[in-house]
Amino acid sequence: MTVDEVENRARAVLHMALGVDERYLTPQARLVDQLYADSMELLEMVMGLNEAFGIEIRAEDVAAIDTVADVYAAVRRLLGARVEHGV
């Protein structure tokens, strides 16, 4: 799976979990402060990401996530070697 594929799949999960139009899911968008995600939506996001990627995002991982870019970075980190850095 390439970095672009990871980000596209994660963006789709964010769109569904947060109910936010994808045009607002820019890397710098802050989940709570700008996209107004509440605790239930964040829980849906984590569960959706875990299912979509076969990973386990833990509480300490969630605490470090503030922006959409942080979501992408957390998923890539948890996927580790399974992410290809395509040209």
Q: Which of 38, 61, 66, 70 is catalytic?
A: 38
Distance between CA atoms of 35 and 80, rounded to whole angstroms? 28
85 neighbors 3 (Cβ within 8 angstroms)? yes
List beta partners, residue 2.
84
61 is catalytic: no
Supply the residues annotated as catalytic: 38
